[in-house]
């Protein structure tokens, strides 16, 4: 009988310690991930880059040859996306035109929203 009680309590304490370790591990990993994200954001800000949090792609990618009035297009930019986003963590969502040099860069953002509902953060 003593052995049964000993092993039962041992198993219970083992499960509790495993659960506590998992919880601490998850919290630690989330804290580390947040710290890394904050450090990246600080470094990008120091470089003068703008943080854009994209919530939805309204239109695109569209090649610049398909746009009749392309006078305001930056040099070396070929692909256009219109996105609903926050710029530098403002409070109001806005529709913003983003230009990319490469089709794959623009399509990566479109493809992200086919698979995820989470916003995508880029630095321009």
* pLDDT top residue among 33 and 6: 33
Q: Give the long-range contacts of residues 66-73, CB within 8 A, separation 24 or more.
A: 73/99
86: nearest Cα among 119, 113, 115: 119
Using one digit for the tens of pLDDT, what is the confidence trace for 29-81? 888 888 988 888 888 888 888 888 899 888 878 888 887 776 667 778 888 88
Q: Edge-to-edge strands of the sheet including 51-63?
A: 94-100, 79-87, 51-63, 120-123
Residue 3 has pLDDT above 70, yes or no: no
Whole-prediction pTM: 0.65
Cα-only R_g, the chain:
24
């Amino acid at each position: 009988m003593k052995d049964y009680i000993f092993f039962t309590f041992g198993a219970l304490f083992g499960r509790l310690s495993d659960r506590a370790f998992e919880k601490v591990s998850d919290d630690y990993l989330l804290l580390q991930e947040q710290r890394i994200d904050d450090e990246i954001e600080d470094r990008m800000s120091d470089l003068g880059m703008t943080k854009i949090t994209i919530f939805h792609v309204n239109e695109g990618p569209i090649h610049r040859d398909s746009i009749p009035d392309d006078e305001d297009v930056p040099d070396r930019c070929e692909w256009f996306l219109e996105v609903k986003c926050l710029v530098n963590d403002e409070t109001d969502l806005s529709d913003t035109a983003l230009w990319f040099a490469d089709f794959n860069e623009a399509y990566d953002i479109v493809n992200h929203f086919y698979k995820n509902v989470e916003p995508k953060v880029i630095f321009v």
